[in-house]
Structure 1
Amino acid sequence: MTTSPAETSAPSSAVPESGGGLARAVRRRLHPDPTVRRLAAITLVNTVGNGLSLAVSVLFFTRVLGLSAAQLGFGMTAAGLCGVVASVPAGRAADRWGARRVLVTLTGLEAVGTAGYALVHSYPAFVVLACAVAAVDRGSAAVRNALYAEVLPADRRVAGRAYLRVVTNAGLCAGTALGAIALQVDNRPVYLTAIVANAVSFLFVAVMYRRLPVLAADGPSARSDAEGSEAPRTKRRNPALRDGPFLVVTVLNALLCLQFAVLEVGVPLWIVHETDAPRITVAGTLIVNTVLVITLQVRATKGTEDPATAARVCGRAGLFLAASCVVIGLAHGLPAIVAAVVVLGGVVLQSFGEVLGQAGGWALSYDLAGERAHGAYQGVYNAGTAAALMVGPALVSTAVIGYGLLGWAVLGAVLAAAGLAMGPAVRWAGRRGRNA
């Protein structure tokens, strides 16, 4: 989606008087950078479709495709593994052929794959398709992060990603609300419509990416012409896989990303099975987290342009996450209302840790990367995140929930250690850069 200069700079007086207040309120919410606004529009379309699909996918797979819970679990695990593996080559492809070109291709393939679910009639076909879609999806995530390095100046990448994460949360909420309508209707045609609508959203996103200009930038990563043509780059070994400090930061960030399994799996299971808190508290935790992320994510990026500061931000994130684990664990055995308040307090701490950890992690993923190899570095970094998202639910549901407060305390210690270890890892990276 493109925006003309006239559209971005029109004065308030140009708006009709009857709608002037609303227009000014909307403008205040828009990002001042036109490139970020374009990316925000793409993100909104993408996440509304994803939210719709996430809301209905489990029932679609089990009730429409007829899969058992065990079959679905195995298929999703296999798909998650494929997503981990796909991130690295996708990032390398972005360096070789340009992130925008690769992302348009992957997004188009994801549209086809998602629509393909409507044609699946056997379990082997489902597993193959799920693996293909997951590989394309996680590959797209790595390439998308590399694209941000190509279209945004270095000093605005992290703040831009924070703004896009706010849009992501808003889009997922809107898509989930649409999905709730589909769940209420609860029939095969509606579920198929939701899946196909998500596929169509990917097509729109592919077109919007295709029209996104890859801006010329100072330095070695600049494009060769004003129209953003993306020339192939020279083949060489993946530098990210030979960068020891970066690999350590990737692992530490993956450990911090276990927090998402805490919120999405651990907290609901804990509330329902191990506390007397009302079950509606599960929805309350998601609402609290979403509101805090939308409110705080952009602010959390301030000052993270410096790698040492970003590492300290990750350290604070680890401490907040550790505290949240202990607080959530303490809800066991408390009266219903008190337990609900304690869990919600733990989720508030988790949300603080989340926005800080994401801000610091984004900054380090760019600051420690080679400027001409953002695809390779983002591919490796995204593989670590994908691995955490894959193993996190099983780890939290067994090793944490099964051991009660002790399990929560051990997980908290792991998260704190991961965050605090970012400082030494970044100092190692700094020494290696000076000695190179």
Structure 2
Amino acid sequence: MAVTTTFPPAVRSLIAATLVNTLGNGVYAAVAALYLTRAAGLSVGQVGVGLTIAALIGLAASTPLGVVADRLGPNRTYVGFLLLQTVTMTALTQVRSVVPYVVVAGVTAIADSGQRGAKGALIAGLAPVDQRVRTRAILRVATNIGMGVGMGLAGIVLAVDRREVYVIALLANAATYLVTAGLVRFGMPPVPPVPRATGPSALTAVRDRRFLVFVALDGVLTMHAAMAQIGIPLWIATSTDAPRWMVSVLLVLNSVAVVLLQVRVARGTETLTGAARAGRRAGLLLAIACLVLAVTDTTSGTVTVALLIVAALVHVVGEMLQSAGGWGISFELAPPGAQGQYQGAYAMGRQLGDLAAPLLLTTVAISWGWPGWLLVAAIFLTAGLLIPPVVNHHQLTRDLTPVG
């Protein structure tokens, strides 16, 4: 079968929608902490509590909201949750105390989980089967570009550092959700919903134990995000003699590598075998990155800087392989009519990783030093090695006994 080399217009519209959405997300990501603590008057502890509660709500809601996408259709569901995010982002400009903040953060988490599952189902419905992973890879590139530009624009807001300017930034982000919803509503043909009477059970994904094992293993690998944003920066600042500006260098290196290489790295992960192999390689490379980092507390000067760059490069290749492998597996293991709930369940892995990683990295890798990095390396390696047998066994048992 010939591989499609161009995208349908609907997929191009989805790429444009992603750029608009992530542009606003980039602005918000850069200004959120300072807005909440300086303009809204919340303490750091209150913000942390709100974020934790929101993360737990989003985790619990992810799979059920994926079922909603299957039943109502991913277009309608995606638009609905984007509009809800417009409302919650606007409401955030009125927050002055912790209780309203927690409420807004919780509803935002529900909307975010809902749109993730719907977007995954929309990709599965709009892109040709052999282009689903490539589509997600290009959307990830678009996400990095949009986030990068948005964070750059946020520098103006941070430089002014006034409440009214923060509010304008939040309202601008709310507007991007509205524009994104319009692009989805009017720029893409509807993907048909799956009626309850003819579709899989709403509990199909949560009963699919092998798939949930994969989700957990993939969630372990997604701790690479916190490793780049929290683990490596703290390690550089506390345990190496490298200049602190290396943190920015490595983050920029990560973003540029994803933009330039994510689509290329995703090649071959359209099949279940190729995707599982990518998961295994991701675990190996992330483990190697940890081992290189472990050495840097005993080196100095140029050697330390060189090793940090090596670790960052190995890390980002592992990150891209994990993303591509996870996309391929989550699409391929979903039975017909259940893409929404399987994409919602797949998103739980990243949410679990985001919850567990900060504690693991700070209490183990940073506090223990090189033995901690060796333990984290073993965790990454084990997760990667287990993905192929879990996925292969799932495929075998599904062929013999269909899930449903």
TM class by smaller structure: over 0.9
Q: Which residue of 2 aligns with 1:25?
A: none
CA RMSD of aligned residues (A): 1.5
| Structural mapping, 1:270-419, within 5 Å | 270-419=235-384
Q: Which residue of 1 aligns with 2:75?
A: 100
Supply the distance in 1 between the matched residues of 2:110 and 2:190 (Cα, whole angstroms): 28
How many residue pairs get aligned? The number is: 395
Q: Which residue of 1 aligns with 2:160?
A: 185
- With over 3 angstroms needed to count, the CA separation of the structure-2 counterparts of 1:137 and 1:311, relative to structure 1, is same
Q: Which residue of 2 aligns with 1:202?
A: 177
Do 2:293 and 2:307's aligned partners in 1 also have CA atoms closer than 8 Å?
yes
Q: 1:340: Cα distance to partner? A: 2.2
**Aligned partner of residue 119 in structure 1, secondary structure:** coil
Task: Tell me which moved more, 137-146 or 154-163.
Answer: 137-146
Supply the distance in 1 between the matched residues of 2:301 and 2:155 (Cα, whole angstroms): 27
Supply the distance in 1 between the matched residues of 2:97 and 2:220 (Cα, whole angstroms): 36
AA partner of residue 295 (structure 2): L
Task: Tell me which moved more, 44-53 or 372-381.
Answer: 372-381
AA partner of residue 73 (structure 1): G
Supply the distance in 2 between the matched residues of 1:149 and 1:395 (Cα, whole angstroms): 34
Structure with higher RCO (Cα < 8 A, 6+ apart) = 2
Q: 1:232: Cα distance to partner? A: 4.3
Do 2:279 and 2:321's aligned partners in 1 also have CA atoms closer than 8 Å?
yes
Match of 2:90 among 115, 123, 126: 115
Q: Which residue of 1 aligns with 2:32?
A: 57
CA offset digits 1:209-268 (Å, max 9, x no partner): 11133367xxxxxx4xxxxxx474437341111112211111111111011110011011
1:43 aligns with 2:29: no
Match of 1:268 among 201, 213, 233: 233
Q: Which residue of 1 aligns with 2:54?
A: 79
Q: Which residue of 2 aligns with 1:168?
A: 143
Supply the distance in 2 between the matched residues of 1:430 and 1:131 (Cα, whole angstroms): 36
Do 1:142 and 1:382's aligned partners in 2 also have CA atoms closer than 8 Å?
yes
Do 1:31 and 1:37's aligned partners in 2 also have CA atoms closer than 8 Å?
no
Match of 1:159 among 131, 134, 153: 134
**Aligned partner of residue 290 in structure 1, secondary structure:** helix
Supply the distance in 2 between the matched residues of 1:371 and 1:58 (Cα, whole angstroms): 41
Q: 1:67: Cα distance to partner? A: 1.3
Using the size of structure 2 for normalisation, the TM-score is 0.94
**Aligned partner of residue 247 in structure 2, secondary structure:** helix
Do 2:70 and 2:194's aligned partners in 1 also have CA atoms closer than 8 Å?
no
- With over 3 angstroms needed to count, the CA separation of the structure-2 counterparts of 1:308 and 1:59, relative to structure 1, is same
**Aligned partner of residue 187 in structure 2, secondary structure:** coil
Supply the distance in 1 between the matched residues of 2:32 and 2:170 (Cα, whole angstroms): 8
1:424 aligns with 2:399: no
Q: 1:363: Cα distance to partner? A: 0.1
Q: 1:336: Cα distance to partner? A: 3.5
Task: Tell me which moved more, 206-215 or 377-386.
Answer: 206-215
**Aligned partner of residue 246 in structure 1, secondary structure:** helix
Do 1:86 and 1:136's aligned partners in 2 also have CA atoms closer than 8 Å?
no
Supply the distance in 2 between the matched residues of 1:231 and 1:303 (Cα, whole angstroms): 29
- With over 3 angstroms needed to count, the CA separation of the structure-2 counterparts of 1:125 and 1:112, relative to structure 1, is same
For structure 2, the residue ranges without an aligned partner over 5 or more in a row are none
Q: 1:341: Cα distance to partner? A: 2.1
| Structural mapping, 1:236-251, within 5 Å | 236-251=201-216
Q: 1:33: Cα distance to partner? A: 3.7
Q: Which residue of 2 aligns with 1:258?
A: 223
Task: Extract structure 1 runs of 4+ deviating beyond 6 A.
Answer: none
